[in-house]
Chains A and B, each alone.
Chain A
């Protein structure tokens, strides 16, 4: 077997450093702008490090990120909308996912195909009709309207992933419950569901994140500034606030997402591949 030479290993590390630079430069660019108190409006000079190091920009965006709301206000809206969408997707989708996992019925294959289609549909493809439909029933500009929209985006994905989760639970456990006289619903509720909870939680998390990071459709639907979410307030700063403020709020907003992704990377890759890696 070839022994890797010292020079070869050094070269590998140089490659990794090069790619790390590609990864870090844009992140550092934004971080630096957010920590620099010397920037008024847009930066006018080239700098690698903050010229006047300060955290005051973060203080400012925390107290007043959007027109009339505090950061708590926009974060609350984000939580309501994202949690609402994730909950609806799970609650209304769970039994359907179970049916796709356990039963054979006519139309099952086309149903699965339709679920995939829904899971990979770009949000804009549902935005157009939902805007008109929700307008005509008068809930478009409310948080409930946004919950409906984000549920429509996430629910097929959640159902698909819950189905994979249920399939992973062994059938024998359910059959044992049947022998003890359980109805199919009881077997589902007391046996399969508890085992699948961790996977369902991940599906819910993905649905939550989809709602948490969406803003373009939110801006189109919401008209009342009291209903602005965190992601929307970042976008709302474009062209209004200084570059530093925009950068600071972007970083604040991304922080929880980054933590979740790094913590759950292996599971998330499998989920985002729709359970096809068998990892």
Chain B
């Protein structure tokens, strides 16, 4: 069995690597010249010329684009050293558009070098987990930025090696650990941001040491110091530019980023804080046809599913992923290539996610019929049918038929210009002609619509666009962040208030309860209006208060409560939207938690108090585990409502992508008259709702078991 396993593993590794190389070779040949490629090729030329002339001393003086360390640029230089020198590529401003042409074969030689390095990274990842290797092989951003003369390929490889060797070392000083330190040093000389794996390794190392041995700090400190010193030495050795002035040049290089983050190029992009997630949830939106496979959305979803397994099986990769995303979120510059910093752990997590899902939907279990199932016949249906009929007919006419009609609409290009045709049956006509293959679908793209005088069949492209396009990913990522953030805070606040109200010695309990219910009792859009009257950027209560007080007294630390134009900045808009959402939603969670607390027997609390539990311990180990299953139905309902939140967004008028599917669909319909887009978004909403209700039915069954126990 083991030999077969080995053969299969080797086969999978070979397939993943071959696929990676195939897709990247294709990309090298087809991708146009991108930003920065001219810069790094120019740097490579300088190194190549120096090496051709035997002036190795020049290596200590050369580092074009000094904000990045030189190692990757030196490697590119080595790759073109055997080619005849050509005139140096001109020095263009950092933010100028991509070069129109670059010398060949120099460009391709450098590009293939990047591909080779990334191929090795895929190979290593596949060796750890073949599915992870496959996913990394087909991930479009990884393909793009490892098939161009960018700095990503080398640090991605060295960081993967450093973490892998660390894990192999079993946390003892040995050859593996030395290797890990060396590759960490090389990573830092290739691109600084990738060196955050050093922090991930240390976090993991500390936690594992603490778990194994309470008094292990000294051994850990000793080992980690040796490890750190080796990587620092490697960093300096592999970074010749630093040799003449080690400290000055390092400071100069590192401090560059502070200024760059404030630069016009970064400001103009106006990316929201969560932009890295948008890159993660979408495929490369440019260069259609180059990447062949685009499963980036699935990688993202599976990586969430697999997080728990990742933590249990290979915790260091978990910390790499978490710290990596934390850093990407707070880092002000949000270029898409930064995503590659975390792609190795993301693909590993996704691979575990795939394995978990296969286990969860274990096929034989699904196919096998349930035992003890009463055989239901058409006779049973005959008895029930007269009772069902009035409801079925009504719902059929006003809900089921409209939803089917909506599906047909989503597969056309129906917009306001074609309203006459649409009202006289155009949608069904085109849908029928289209699915029976009598007409070819016209091409439609989300966000760029072509008004036509008649309805035309368009196939399922729009629905796929909402799910898989970059524009759709923007919305989906906002939806996920919005729902989890608001419901998380609502639950925390609701449970906290319910617990406080249930403490001993609280006076006027019912008064507080009624007061806290108020936001929930007020219609959602009136609540949103109330907050809008506070937040309005010109006449709002807060902005007036600020100008009022700053006129009379100067408060040195007065924080600007309302930044003018907050509605146009996605991150600030999210912050202001959260207030009405929490305000409106927390009472419901408070009531649910309050009802749940009644189910927790008093004896349990008293027993834990006798055992000397402190307030927090009691909550963490007694109350919360008992309460959680009781409030999960409420949380799922709130999640579904948050996902579909509409009136707050309608009132606050925040721009795309700070918008839910519902709101976007409404504006497409009401303002743009793009009926088909609205329908396509609604179909996707239905798909997600389907998943939400699936979770709800599963959990409510589980929670009922606990409630009756």
Contacts and interface: CB of A to CB of B under 8 A. Distances in A.
Contact of B399 (A13, A113, A126, A136): A126
B384 A216 contact: no
Most chain A CB atoms below 10 A, which of B515, B533, B544: B533
B646 interface: yes
Contacts of B343: none
Nearest to A116: B693
Interface stretch (A55-63, A93-101, A198-206): A93-101
B363 interface: no
A155 B398 contact: yes
A240 interface: no
Contact of B527 (A26, A88, A260): A26
Contacts of A156: 395, 399
Contact of A120 (B525, B650, B692): B692
B534 interface: yes
Interface in B564-580: 580
Contacts of B512: 16, 20
A148 B394 CA distance: 10
Contacts of A208: none
Interface of A: 1-2, 4, 8-9, 12-13, 15-16, 19-20, 22-27, 29-30, 33, 42-46, 88, 91-93, 95-99, 103-108, 113, 116-118, 120-133, 135-136, 148, 151-152, 155-156, 159, 213, 215-216, 220, 231, 234-235, 243, 246-247, 250-251, 253-254, 257-258, 260-262, 265-266, 269-270, 272-274, 276-279
Given A30-B529, A120-B693, A155 B394 contact: yes
B686 interface: yes
Given A132-B423, A136-B423, A235-B525, A12 B506 contact: yes
Contacts of A106: 376-378, 380-381
A122 B647 CA distance: 11
A220 B425 CA distance: 21
B409 A104 contact: no
A124 B682 contact: yes
Contact of A26 (B393, B530, B606, B685): B530
Contacts of B703: 276
A98 B386 CA distance: 11
B606 A125 contact: no
Contacts of A42: 536, 538-539
- Chain B binding surface, main DSSP class: helix
A113 B693 contact: yes
B544 A45 contact: yes
B387 A95 contact: yes
Interface string B482-503: 0000000000010001001101
Interface in B383-435: 383-395, 398-399, 401-403, 405-406, 409, 422-425, 427
Nearest to A42: B539
Given A43-B539, A277-B633, A257 B521 contact: yes
Contacts of B514: 262
Given A106-B378, A126-B399, A133-B405, 13 more contacts: A20-B516, A23-B519, A24-B515, A26-B534, A93-B390, A96-B390, A129-B406, A132-B422, A213-B525, A250-B529, A257-B523, A269-B588, A272-B588
